[in-house]
Amino acid sequence: MLEDFIRQRPNDPFPRYALAMEHKNAGRLDEASKMFSELMGSTPDYTATYLHAGNALVAMGQVDQARRVYESGIAACLRSGDTHARGELEGALGGLPPSA
């Protein structure tokens, strides 16, 4: 159903985000991560993407990449004025182990 919605509204980021979340919640982290990455590339100011993209990367053991995603998300939040998502991203970033 989401794939049909994506075809009908290809410029709307929400259906792509929702499908990526479905993959993430089903444990298909590689698929979710790929979709989140595509969404961040095509719609960089869609701030909801960054937290879940980073969380998927953390779950896959890619902490340094997750750190970069969280930092990019914070920058997107600053551009768009999204203080709620910014706070969530800062919390997630602060919860990561120090980089090597």
Structure tokens at 75: 């920058």
- pTM equals 0.90
Rounded-to-integer distance, Cα 34 and Cα 23, Å:
10
Amino acid identity of residue 24, one-letter, is K
Q: What CATH number did the domain enclosing 59 receive?
A: 1.25.40.10
| 65 inside domain | yes
In a domain, 55, yes or no: yes
Of all residues in the chain, the percent with pLDDT exceeding 90 is 85
Structural domain total, the chain: 1
| pLDDT interval class at 76 (50, 70, 90) | very high
Look at residue 21 and tell me if it is in a domain.
no
Whether 92 has a pLDDT exceeding 80, the answer reads yes
Q: Where are the alpha helices (DSSP H) in the chain?
A: 2-8, 13-25, 29-42, 48-59, 63-80, 83-94
Q: Tell me: the pLDDT tens digits for 34-44?
A: 999 999 999 99
In a domain, 40, yes or no: yes
| Residues 18, 34: Cα–Cα separation, whole Å | 13
